[in-house]
Amino acid sequence: MPETIVATRSFTEKLVAARSASLSLATADAALKNRALEAIAVAVERNADRIIPANDLDLANGRENGLSSGLQDRLRLDEGRLRGLASAVREVAALVDPVGENVRGQTLPNGLKLSQVRVPFGVVGVIYEARPNVTVDIAALALKSGNAVVLRGGSAAENSNRVLVELIQEALASVGLPADSVQTIDEFGRDGAKQLMHARGYVDVLIPRGSADLINTVVAESKVPVIETGAGVVHVFLDESADRQWAIDIVQNSKVQRPSVCNALETLLVHEAAADRLLPTVLADLAASGVTIHGDERTRALFPDAVPATEDDWSTEYMTLDLSVRVVSGLDAALEHIRRYSTQHTESIITNDLGNAERFLAEVDSAVVMVNASTRFTDGGEFGFGAEVGISTQKLHARGPMGLSELTSTKWIVRGSGQVRA
């Protein structure tokens, strides 16, 4: 029984097994990896009777421990959600295998043939919180990109994750891939997360997904290289020439469509010459959707229902139906505000002025910079990546939505015929 094996293995033994599995995965061809993914999809669809009781146990524990209704909802798996998970795995299977992609190459004057090709990282560690769907999503993405993965999913989803990982391991074994390609370390508790952050040499890259607290802890503690998926204090700037309807639609969509995610709007900046024309309607529309406006003095003069914005508001990622609004003297002041308060996730300018659009694109130093589009488009699915590991707000390795190729490294291949250096 997998439980017995898991329980008797030390943390280091599990990491050694992950490394060993990664060697098989690195040279597995796309057809084999896709058979594994199909087997995982089938297992998730057909084993509701194993998954849902485990999930019910987590939910019962959650209620007992006072888990909020929002987090309980994130934790819940039902037959519909399992079908959705299986379908997500099949979408990953349908993507082009990133491994072996020739990134660049050339033949040198001395006849050496150089090519830089994509290779898996090896062993990927992921630390996340109480969302069992992430277990399946990340396992699928890691396998497709040829990586073994070590998952630390949080105690609130421990029973759900244990069953999901067992099913994934059985599916892997059924097609002849190492079951250890996907492992959970939940049984080691908080100490396991800490050990994972110090497992330099065993784990090639660590990806934290979840709250700002979780991410900050991992970034501060980890000795393993981290890809940071960060918070979004996202800005829209309504320039003097902004089209009125675009301003209304884009602000509404950016703030209201799904306020709890990192690409949702948090601060609206408005050119003072457009404030009279745009703000009353834009803000009335938001208020009608239940948004609380935190406005500076000039905003409140135009929209008296706004509560006063505090200094803290400018750097707050609400993730709720709250919005900070500030009237600025122009593009320079907007750029200055964004430089000071943005988390460099996504910013958008609504304008009809070509020069201002180009300056905004060039000078805003964020993962995604937009002209006349909703900030909600910063998303791997929307970008056409098919699936998303997370959205990187760091500058190293990956920036913005991360798809399969962001889960790979590269390696230089040199083919010679006896060349030596002069």
By rule CB under 8 A, what string of x and - marks binding of each residue 389-408 to a copy of itself? -----xxxx-xxx-------
Q: Which of 29, 223, 284, 332 binds a copy of itself (CB under 8 A)?
A: 223
Lateral strand order in the sheet of 123-127: 182-184, 148-152, 123-127, 205-208
By rule CB under 8 A, what string of x and - marks binding of each residue 254-293 to a copy of itself? x--x------------------------------------
Q: Which is nearer to a copy of itself, 190 or 411 (CB)?
A: 411
End-to-end CA distance of the chain: 60
Residue 59 exposure: Cα atoms within 13 Å on the Cβ side: 16
By rule CB under 8 A, what string of x and - marks binding of each residue 338-377 to a copy of itself? ----------x------------xxx-xxxxxxxxxx-xx
Q: Which of 252, 267, 299, 351 binds a copy of itself (CB under 8 A)?
A: 252
Amino acid making up residue 36: A
Helix residue ranges per DSSP H, 202-347: 212-221, 244-256, 272-288, 297-302, 331-341
The yes or no reply on residue 155 touching a copy of itself (CB under 8 A) is: no
DSSP state of 405: G
Q: Which is nearer to a copy of itself, 216 or 292 (CB)?
A: 216
Token pair 């798809």: residue: 403
State how far the Cα of 172 lies from the Cα of 85, in Å rounded to an integer.
Answer: 17
Q: How near is the Cβ of 112 to a copy of itself at its closest, in Å?
A: 6
Q: Which of 171, 250, 291, 387 binds a copy of itself (CB under 8 A)?
A: 250
Helix (H, G, I), strand (E, B) or coil at 59: helix
Q: Which is nearer to a copy of itself, 65 or 421 (CB)?
A: 421
Number of residues that bind a copy of itself (CB under 8 A): 67
Q: Which stretch binds a copy of itself (CB under 8 A): 22-30, 32-40, 155-163, 292-300?
A: 22-30
Q: Which is nearer to a copy of itself, 300 or 376 (CB)?
A: 376
The yes or no reply on residue 146 touching a copy of itself (CB under 8 A) is: no
Q: Which is nearer to a copy of itself, 169 or 351 (CB)?
A: 351
Q: Give Cβ neighbours of residue 169 (< 8 Å, ≥ 6 apart).
A: 2, 179, 180, 182, 183
Chain positions 29 to 88 lying near a copy of itself, rule: CB under 8 A, are: none
Q: Give Cβ neighbours of residue 299 (< 8 Å, ≥ 6 apart).
A: 270, 275, 279, 283, 293, 306, 309, 325, 326, 327
The yes or no reply on residue 332 touching a copy of itself (CB under 8 A) is: no
Q: Which of 16, 26, 301, 302 binds a copy of itself (CB under 8 A)?
A: 26
Alpha-carbon torsion, ordered 211, 215, 220, 226, to 10 deg:
170
Alpha-carbon torsion, ordered 189, 195, 201, 207, to 10 deg:
60
Q: How near is the Cβ of 58 to a copy of itself at its closest, in Å?
A: 31
Q: What are phi and psi of 328, to 5 degrees?
A: -120, 165
Q: Quick one: tokens of 346?
A: 């996504």
The yes or no reply on residue 6 touching a copy of itself (CB under 8 A) is: no
The yes or no reply on residue 246 touching a copy of itself (CB under 8 A) is: yes
Sign of the C-alpha dihedral computed for residues 13, 15, 19 and 24 taken in this order = positive
The yes or no reply on residue 419 touching a copy of itself (CB under 8 A) is: yes
The yes or no reply on residue 161 touching a copy of itself (CB under 8 A) is: no
Strand 390-392 and strand 400-402: the pairing is antiparallel
Q: How near is the Cβ of 259 to a copy of itself at its closest, in Å?
A: 13
Q: How near is the Cβ of 66 to a copy of itself at its closest, in Å?
A: 33
The yes or no reply on residue 219 touching a copy of itself (CB under 8 A) is: yes
The yes or no reply on residue 166 touching a copy of itself (CB under 8 A) is: no
Q: Is residue 241 within 8 Å of residue 371, measured between CB atoms? A: no
Q: How near is the Cβ of 421 to a copy of itself at its closest, in Å?
A: 4
State how far the Cα of 37 lies from the Cα of 34, in Å rounded to an integer.
Answer: 5
Task: Write out the residues near a copy of itself by the rule CB under 8 A.
Answer: 23, 26-27, 106, 108, 112, 114, 116, 119, 121-122, 204-205, 219-220, 223, 225, 227, 243, 245-246, 249-250, 252-254, 257, 348, 361-363, 365-374, 376-378, 382-384, 394-397, 399-401, 409-421
